[in-house]
Chains A and B, each alone.
Chain A
C-alpha cells in the first residue's frame, strides 16, 4: 500500500508530476483491489465459506485504503491540505484525518483478513481479537509512519510465506504471480526504512508497488479473460 510521505512532500524533492504518477499507481490499486474483492464476494455469495468472506473483506479494505490514499494525495497536490501535511490540528481538517485513519487502519485490517484466509482460521471469534488489536495499533500508528509500515510488513510476511507454500503445493503459475505480488507489497513497506536515509527509495518503493499491482492485474485478467467453453 502506498502511503504519504510528509517529509518528502514538504521538501518537494521530486518534480510535481511524480506525485501525480504515485496517485495514478494508487488508483490502479483501487481498481485491482475492488475487482478482486468482487470476485471474492461472488464466491462467498455462492459457496458461503468463511475463507471467501475474509478474502472479500481483505481486498475490499485494501481498495478502500487505496481510495483514501488517492483522495489524500490529490487533495495535497491541489493544495487543499496544507494544514494536514503540516499536522496542524484544525477542526476543518477533521475529514482529512478521518480519511487518513481509513487508510492506516484499512491497510492493516486488510492484511489481517488475508492472513486469516491463508492461515485457514476457522473460529471467527478468535479472529476478532486480532482485528481489535490491529485496530488499536492502527490508531496508534497515526503519528509514526515507520511503525505503520513495519507492522504492515510483519503481517505481509506471513501472507508471503503462506502464498509461497501454496505455490510449492500446486506449482501453479498464477499462484507464483500472487506470491510475487504480495512480496512486492512486503518490500514496499519494508523499504520505508531505507527511504529515511535515501529519499530515492520513495521512487523505488512506488515502482515496486506498481510491479506488484501489475502482477495482480495479470492474474485477474487471466481469471476474467478465461474463454467460455
Chain B
C-alpha cells in the first residue's frame, strides 16, 4: 500500500504540477493530477493563495491558477530538502 502523503508533499505535488504546465493551469488539471477530492483541493488552493504561492486569475470566464515566484522558490527548496532527506537517510 502506498504511504499517505504529508501536507507538504501534497502542496509540493500541486505546485510541481502547475510548474510542469508552464506555471498556469486550470483547476480541473490540478484535481486530476493532484489525486485529491474536490473539497480537499479547494482547501489547499485557498491556503496556497493566502500564502502567496499561487494566484487565481480569471480569463474569458475561465479560472486559472498561476505559480508565483514564491511558489517556484518553494519547489526548488523542497527538492533540495527531499534530496537531503534521501542523502542522509533521515
Contacting residues, chain B, for A222 (C-beta < 8 A): 83, 87
B89 near A39 with CB under 8 A, answer no
When C-beta atoms are compared, the residue in chain B nearest to A44 turns out to be B81
Assess whether B85 is in contact with A43, with CB atoms less than 8 Å apart: yes
How far, in angstroms, from A226 to B86 measured CA to CA in the complex?
13
A15 at the interface (CB under 8 A from B): no
Interface residues as binary, B49-62 with A (CB distance below 8 Å gives 1, 0 otherwise): 00000000000000
**B86-A42 in contact (CB<8A):** no
User: Which of A72-80, A164-172, A187-195, A203-211 lies at the interface?
Assistant: A164-172
Name A169's contact: one of B83, B89, B90 (CB within 8 Å).
Answer: B89
B residues in contact with A175, CB < 8 Å: 86-89
Least CB distance from B75 to A in Å reads: 9
- CA gap between A219 and B42 in the complex, in Å: 38
Residues on B close to A: CB < 8 A?
Answer: 6, 8, 74, 76-81, 83-90
A interface residue numbers (CB < 8 A to B): 39-40, 42-43, 46-47, 51-52, 55, 117-118, 162-163, 166-167, 169-170, 172, 174-175, 177-178, 219, 222-224, 226, 228
Task: Supply 28 A–B pairs (Cβ within 8 Å), ascending by A.
Answer: A42-B80, A43-B81, A46-B74, A46-B77, A46-B81, A47-B81, A51-B90, A162-B89, A163-B88, A163-B89, A166-B89, A169-B89, A170-B86, A170-B89, A172-B87, A174-B86, A174-B87, A175-B88, A175-B89, A177-B87, A222-B87, A223-B80, A223-B83, A223-B84, A224-B80, A226-B79, A226-B80, A228-B76
